[in-house]
Structure 1
């Protein structure tokens, strides 16, 4: 990724149909935990954001979101 995920708490994902993600780490009970922060801007310019343990899980959540949108 060339840029940070957010600028002042606002997503920097601007182009429709694009995704952006960043892995971050934190400590919990002596273990280092990793999570992926994920943004996707759909072709309607609506932003989907989530945090999950893996990029694959983020993309799965995005696909579920897109499926719900198309059925609405």
Structure 2
């Protein structure tokens, strides 16, 4: 699969607070399915990546990840 989101298998999402996404199809014939590959670089530099059927689902998962991350950080202080 050719992608603009990776170089040599590494995400090109480098700036903090940025997101990248790309749609792709999997399967063949009548079983084709469109999915979204999603990368988000958090403000601390950590990368969140997922694949889901829609961009909205990817963003929902990102928001849940960020909430969990903030909860853990608040517990450590």
TM over 0.5: yes
Structure whose residues are more often strand by fraction: 1
Greater Rg by CA: 2
- Write the distance in 1 (CA, Å) between the matches of 2:60 and 2:71: 17
Alpha-carbon offset, residue 29 of structure 1:
6.8
Could you give the per-residue CA deviations for residues 15-63 of structure 1, whole angstroms, max 9, x where no partner exists? 0000000000022573210000000000001000000000000000000
- 1:42 and 2:42 are equivalent in the alignment: yes
Gaps of 5+ in 1: none
Gaps of 5+ in 2: 73-77
- 4+ residue runs over 4 A deviation: none
- 1:18 and 2:33 are equivalent in the alignment: no
- Write the distance in 2 (CA, Å) between the matches of 1:41 and 1:5: 13
The number of equivalent residue pairs is 70
TM-score, structure 2 length as denominator?
Answer: 0.85
TM-score, structure 1 length as denominator?
Answer: 0.91
Structure whose residues are more often helix by fraction: 2
